[in-house]
Amino acid sequence: MHINMKATLKISVVLVILLSLVACNKSSSRNYQYMPNMYESVGYEAYQEANVQVGDVEIFENNMEARLPAEGTIPRGNFMPYEIEDTNEGYELAKSTLTNPLGPPIDLDSPEVDSTHVDSDLSTIRIDYAKGGPLYSIYCAICHGAKGDGQGKLVQGEKILGVPSYDDVGRAITTGSIYHVIYYGKNTMGSYANQLNEEERWQVVAYVEKLKADLEKK
């Protein structure tokens, strides 16, 4: 009798251990750390949750550490704001007046290394299809197609429809209208101003114009 009691006890202990092992084998929680105060930054890391309360006041809205820059501030360097407004008139204004501030295109056959420019003065940077092309294929080609004919992967899969070809006569895109639409988006297309900086936008504009010229040649 006594021995049997002991055996049941042992078996149940083993079972409990096994069950706890199974229960711990979840990957939805983080592992232990040796010294958390060396792992975790004292200052706020990007995207860190920041629930700081002074009295009843929440210092960070929604406990988000990420903030928008204070209104009216500008980044360092030769920053020029894009002043044309996101309206139909603004679109027409950009379409007719805006030109590409970048220097003339770098010849792809004999590329020169452009190491002279040090600041962000756009006129010292030249149009480089080797820069614009890869950016185009990341951000634009998924809808507009690698050739700009409106046959991107999402269009072919019938997920997004009605993407026009760059040589569309009704739209008749120009340097300025391309830049304006990348900056603000138009109709179903969203703004790409936060994914591409000013120089990159102009490089993409130049590449789109090249694609348009290629399409019109055919």
Partner 1 sequence: MKKSYQSLEDNSTHNMKQVIYRKLASNILHLGLILLFAFSTSLTAQEGDPTNGKSLFNTNCASCHKLDNKMTGPALRNVESRLAEEEGLDREWLNSWIRNSAAMIKSGDAYANKIYEEYNQTAMTAFPTLTDQDITDILAYTAQPKAEPVVAEGPAVNGGGGTGGASNNLILGALALLFALLAGALILVNRTLNRFAEEKGVDRPIKEKGTPIWKAFVQNQFLVLVTSIFLLLASAYFVYGYLMQVGVDQGYEPVQPIHYSHRIHAGTNAIDCKYCHSSARVSKHSGIPSLNICMNCHKSIGQVADEVQAEGLNEYGVDYNAEIQKLYKAVGWDVAEQQYTGKTQPVEWIRIHNLPDFAYFNHSQHVSVAGVECQTCHGPVEEMEIMYQHSSLTMGWCINCHRETNVKVQDNEYYTKIHEELSKKYGVDQLTAAQMGGLECGKCHY
- Within residues 96-155, the interface with partner 1 by CB under 8 A covers 113, 115, 137-139, 142, 150, 153-154
- Alpha-carbon distance of 149 to 179, in angstroms, equals 18
- 6/217 with CB nearer partner 1: 6
- Alpha-carbon distance of 157 to 178, in angstroms, equals 25
- Alpha-carbon distance of 77 to 95, in angstroms, equals 27
Dihedrals φ, ψ of 105, to 5°? -60, 145
- 75/99 with CB nearer partner 1: 75
Question: Which structure tokens are listed for 34?
Answer: 């040796």
- Scanning 10-18, 72-80, 119-127, 204-212 for contacts with partner 1 by CB under 8 A, the matching segment is 10-18
- 51/99 with CB nearer partner 1: 51
Question: Which structure tokens are listed for 114?
Answer: 């452009």
Q: Do 164 and 171 touch, CB atoms closer than 8 A? A: yes
Buried b (16+ CB within 10 A) or exposed e, 32-52: eeeeeeeeeeeeeeeeeebee
75 lies in the site for partner 1, by CB under 8 A: no
Task: Among 2, 6, 30, 76, indicate the residue that binds partner 1 (CB under 8 A).
Answer: 30
- 64/213 with CB nearer partner 1: 64
- Alpha-carbon distance of 215 to 209, in angstroms, equals 10
Task: Among 76, 110, 187, 218, indicate the residue that binds partner 1 (CB under 8 A).
Answer: 187
Residues that bind partner 1 (CB under 8 A): 1, 4, 7-8, 11-12, 15, 18-19, 22-23, 25-34, 38-42, 45-47, 49, 62, 64, 87-88, 113, 115, 137-139, 142, 150, 153-154, 157-164, 168-171, 185, 187-192, 194-197
